[in-house]
Amino acid sequence: MKSFEYLCLKCLQSFRGERSISAIYHLFRGKKSSQTIQDANIFALVNVYGIFPDLNRNFLQQSIQILQTEQLIREVHSEHFELTHKGKIQLSNDEKLFDLAPYLNGYAYKDKSLTFWKRYSLLVQTLSNLAGKESTFIPIQYDDYVQSWVKNYLLSQKGSSKKRLLNDLFKETNGLLTQLPADQATVFALKLSGYRRAGNTDEQIARTLKKDNAWIHVEFQSALHYIIQRLEDKDAVSTNKHLFQICRDLLEKPLLTETTQKSLKLLHQGLTLREIANIRRLKESTIEDHIVEIAMQIHDFSITPYVKEDDVQAVKAVIDDLQTHQLRRIKEKLNNQDISYFQIRLVLTRMGDSDESRQPAGS
């Protein structure tokens, strides 16, 4: 089995027939919608959120077809699948082969790691060429903002020679890479460009390591996420000062989407959901989506203004009984039909990892 098919199988196991393959498509691409963000959180799939931002829907459909042909999954209703007994065995057998790193977290690090890599790779390429007395080269990154960042960074380091900067950056990077599995460190290193050296593509690295392209991409993302996670440590500013400077501003960015941040500011001013909707000229249901996102990311954000404790317990009891995340099924089972879908979603965001229905495949 190829790694991408394994990841599809893992998602389908977590979804348990409650989400369609479109949910996998949006999850892998990292769609910034309330539904996809909530799916990533309540189904414990934040690790693979946004892991394949350029995923082609036809490629996903073909992979699902392969799983179906091999009788690893069966369709329960239109584009909703569950694992067969054979599929569960296959998933269990392949978990060691495709071991997802515990620090892989697309939801937390997808955007930060992408910008970090662009800055880092261009900085390394630039320093390497300048140290080799080569001032003319084709930049690995064409983004004007990234190029501008590297130029400004180098200007801010006027007191240090290019070789010294490159050496310091190498030591910091090497110190982190030696803590990673060999394949992840190798993938990271092989993708770097430098003086008279072009970085390898995923395809080239896949041939070298005898892995498939998708898994090389996952291993690379894992390495990036580990580095970002380590740079969040309190002592990173001194132990990895050059790497820290590359992403200092990125680490300060909140996980909330921009539109949700705007609603949160108005919420802090004491406005009601209806008032926020009127001011922002949005539907009240959209503001409810923002509240759900806030509840997921800000753990001390109280949901009691929106759902009473008795209703919270009622919803939890139904979820435990049905072992489902399907809003319609939960609402139909509730004795109190006045409990809204919005309130059910809020309760789902606060269901802890001890909730069996949230456990990811292979846990």
pLDDT (tens digit, 0 to 9) for every residue of the chain, 363 residues total? 899 999 999 999 999 999 999 999 999 999 988 889 989 988 999 999 999 999 999 999 999 999 999 999 999 999 999 999 999 999 999 998 999 999 999 999 999 999 999 999 999 999 999 988 888 899 999 999 999 999 999 998 887 788 899 999 999 999 999 999 999 999 999 999 999 899 999 999 999 999 999 999 999 999 999 999 999 998 999 999 999 999 999 998 878 888 999 999 999 999 999 999 999 999 999 999 999 999 988 888 999 999 999 999 999 999 999 988 889 999 999 988 899 999 999 999 887 533 444 443 333
Supply the pTM of this predicted model.
Answer: 0.86
CA distances from 140 to 68, 123, 127 (A): 41, 10, 13
- Please state the length of the chain: 363
Rounded Cα distance, 127 and 130, in Å: 5
Residue 123, SS3 per DSSP? helix
Q: Which residue has the tokens 């000229």?
A: 281
CB 80 within 8 A of CB 17: yes
Rounded Cα distance, 335 and 331, in Å: 9
